[in-house]
Structure 1
């Protein structure tokens, strides 16, 4: 397995608001940093509600994962940072729609503030590539 860390922010995904790339990959392991529900075409929030922001985050994850040989079915763990726990059920509805039957480990954390104005939640994840690693 390669120990080199490859970082990237693929086209058709939101641009980072700080000095980082969205994706870090080592061998078959993938980490995607905190991602908000920003429409990459406009650079603005996908909508003012948790439904539209959650849907956009998961769509961005799909594009990011595909860019490094993975998909939503290869997600191992998701962290959700939610500004208002009253949005928990609405976030879950969209999450189930987008994730299908795949249920990776997940942590939901209530937060007081997020860096971009109007953002109601961010998510990050850990995944693996679709390629099989040969055993030695």
Structure 2
């Protein structure tokens, strides 16, 4: 049986700034590419602080995951790309607010630069669909 790759960007999520879709799915496996804290209703950053941007990223992830039969509780791994490692604790506080007690594997990187001005972090993730 041949696996089919589906890629798309759901409505009510930020528009990608490059030639890609946010979501890729093969069977029960889901990948969401680098996402910044952009409010999809305005196209602007959700705030100038890392907490507001983190919350917006995870809200966008929630919508994207729901579009492919999943949710934040089915996230397997998250990569966090922080412009300033000094924002680590504030990012964690917002992350816990959205993720609750679910603690998927996670890697945090400090990056020199991100593609959109004012962006303090981006995240991507790997997840699976809910059991059918």
Name the TM-score, length of structure 1 as normaliser.
0.95
Query: Which residue in 1 is equivalent to 2:111?
Result: 111
Query: Which residue in 1 is equivalent to 2:36?
Result: 36
Query: Which residue in 2 is equivalent to 1:47?
Result: 47
Contact 1:2 1:27 in 2 (8 A): no
1:131 positional shift: 2.6
Query: Which residue in 2 is equivalent to 1:73?
Result: 73
Query: Which residue in 1 is equivalent to 2:23?
Result: 23
CA distance in 2: counterparts of 1:94 and 1:115, whole angstroms: 22
RMSD: 0.9
Flag structure 1 segments of 5+ consecutive residues without an equivalent.
Answer: none
CA distances 1:39-81 after superposition (whole Å, capped 9, x unpaired):
0000000000001000000000000000000000000000000
Flag structure 2 segments of 5+ consecutive residues without an equivalent.
Answer: none
CA distance in 2: counterparts of 1:45 and 1:34, whole angstroms: 15
Query: Which residue in 2 is equivalent to 1:92?
Result: 92
Query: Which residue in 2 is equivalent to 1:14?
Result: 14
Contact 1:69 1:131 in 2 (8 A): no
